[in-house]
């Protein structure tokens, strides 16, 4: 078996099929239900050998007041090591939707200093479409503890305390990944009791606008998408409902060459704590 030394931020299902037996490769299923729901409602099959990257229970603060809150460095470190992640591992993450919550796993790994992680372009739907084999999901196994050491990168994250200043700073652009109907307050927020609204000076880019069906658009297409909303050298700050689809825009912006961060609390936090 060969050993990979480095990887880009996105790989094709053909690439994974050819490298799935490489000795330092780890594959993670980072699926969550869209917006609200139970993981049990999703596909009961997975890519062979894939482990579950549990965003909700292992890689978020479970008792935080808002969903998907970024964990502490120690929590992330321990949870990553439990999955057998080593400093020299190559990690591929995917989800059952195509590209959705896998981007959050990618962003978290990058935020805590793990560089060799890539999204599987098209996720499980694309894997199945190519006729590649799958296996039934089973109860999680125990793995040899990894030696990965988490190092938090604060440049990847924006917190609510900074937003008022950022919204007035021309060097930044806040971009909201929610649907246009949610952004424009045409429909109610899906979370019970959460008011509709937008962060001041933010623009809307529904996350599916960076996708072609289940797959991410090509680099030049992504550049064109962001060029229409931003000015040269602006730092992009992504928000959404709870930090999931904001991470998908962060992936797209990274591939297009833009410096960017994710507002971790997103609209669930802002709409709760800020008075309209």
Say yes or no to pLDDT of 113 above 90: yes
Say yes or no to pLDDT of 25 above 50: yes
What is the torsion angle, in degrees rounded to the nearest 10, for the CA atoms of residue 56, residue 235, residue 123 and residue 149? -60
- Among 172, 135, 194, smallest CA distance to 253 is for 172
What does the pLDDT average to over 28-42? 69
Q: Rounded to an integer, what is the distance from CA 12 to the centroid of its chain?
A: 17
d(CA 157, CA 154) in angstroms, rounded, equals 6
Q: In what order do the strands lie in the sheet with 51-52?
A: 10-11, 117-120, 90-94, 25-29, 51-52
Of the listed ranges 4-13, 71-80, 207-216, the least confidently predicted one is 4-13
The catalytic position among 103, 240, 252, 255 is 240
Model pLDDT, residue 41: 46
Distances 251 to 5, 38, 41, 168, 262 between C-alpha atoms, Å = 21, 25, 26, 25, 10
For the chain, domains (ranges, CATH) are 10-152 (3.40.250.10), 155-273 (3.40.250.10)
Distances 97 to 9, 121, 182, 215 between C-alpha atoms, Å = 18, 11, 20, 10
Model pLDDT, residue 89: 96
- Among 105, 110, 239, smallest CA distance to 172 is for 239
d(CA 102, CA 123) in angstroms, rounded, equals 8
Say yes or no to pLDDT of 228 above 90: yes
For residues 60 and 275, which has the higher predicted lDDT (pLDDT)? 60
Model pLDDT, residue 162: 96
Q: What is the mean pLDDT of the chain?
A: 93
Say yes or no to pLDDT of 1 above 60: no
Model pLDDT, residue 36: 45
Q: How far apart are the first and last CA of the chain?
A: 58
Tens of pLDDT along 159-205?
999 999 999 999 999 999 999 999 999 999 999 999 999 999 999 99
Model pLDDT, residue 6: 72
What does the pLDDT average to over 102-114? 98
Is 240 a residue of the active site? yes
- Positive or negative: CA dihedral 84, 86, 91, 95: positive
Say yes or no to pLDDT of 10 above 80: yes
Q: SS3 for 71-82, per residue?
A: CCHHHHHHHHHH
User: Model pTM?
Assistant: 0.94
Tens of pLDDT along 42-86?
678 999 999 999 999 999 999 999 999 999 999 999 999 999 999
Tell me how many degrees the CA angle 162-164-166 measures, rounded to the nearest 5. Answer: 65
Of the listed ranges 13-17, 134-138, 261-265, the least confidently predicted one is 134-138
Tell me how many degrees the CA angle 42-37-97 measures, rounded to the nearest 5. Answer: 40
Say yes or no to pLDDT of 2 above 70: no
Tens of pLDDT along 233-271?
999 999 999 999 999 999 999 999 999 999 999 999 999
Model pLDDT, residue 123: 97
Model pLDDT, residue 40: 47
Say yes or no to pLDDT of 121 above 70: yes
Report the largest interatomic distance among the alpha carbons of the chain, rounded to a whole angstrom: 58
Tell me how many degrees the CA angle 178-180-181 measures, rounded to the nearest 5. Answer: 100
């Amino acid at each position: 078996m060969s050993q990979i030394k480095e990887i880009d931020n996105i790989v094709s299902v053909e690439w994974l099929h050819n490298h799935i037996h490489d000795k330092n490769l780890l594959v993670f299923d980072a699926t969550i239900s869209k917006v609200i729901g139970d993981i049990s409602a999703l596909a009961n099959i997975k890519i062979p050998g894939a482990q579950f990257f549990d965003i909700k229970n292992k890689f978020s603060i479970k008792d935080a007041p808002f969903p998907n809150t970024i964990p502490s460095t120690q929590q992330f470190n321990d949870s990553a090591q439990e999955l057998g992640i080593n400093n020299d591992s190559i990690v591929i993450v995917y989800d059952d939707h195509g590209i959705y919550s896998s981007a959050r796993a990618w962003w978290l790994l990058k935020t805590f200093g793990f560089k060799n992680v890539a999204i599987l372009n098209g996720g499980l739907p694309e894997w199945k479409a190519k006729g590649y084999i799958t296996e039934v999901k089973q109860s999680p196994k125990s793995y040899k503890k990894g030696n990965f050491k988490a190092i938090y990168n604060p440049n990847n994250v924006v917190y609510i305390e900074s937003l008022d200043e950022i919204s007035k700073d021309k060097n930044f652009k806040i971009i909201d990944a929610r649907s246009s109907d949610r952004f424009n307050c045409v429909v109610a927020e899906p979370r019970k009791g959460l008011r509709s609204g937008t962060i001041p000076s933010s623009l809307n880019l529904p996350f599916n606008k960076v996708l072609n069906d289940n797959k991410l658009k090509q680099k030049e297409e992504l550049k064109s998408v962001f060029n229409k909303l931003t000015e040269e050298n602006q730092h992009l700050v992504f928000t959404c409902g709870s930090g999931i689809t904001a991470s998908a825009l962060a992936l797209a912006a990274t591939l297009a060459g833009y410096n960017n961060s994710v507002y971790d609390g997103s609209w669930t936090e802002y709409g709760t704590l800020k008075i309209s």
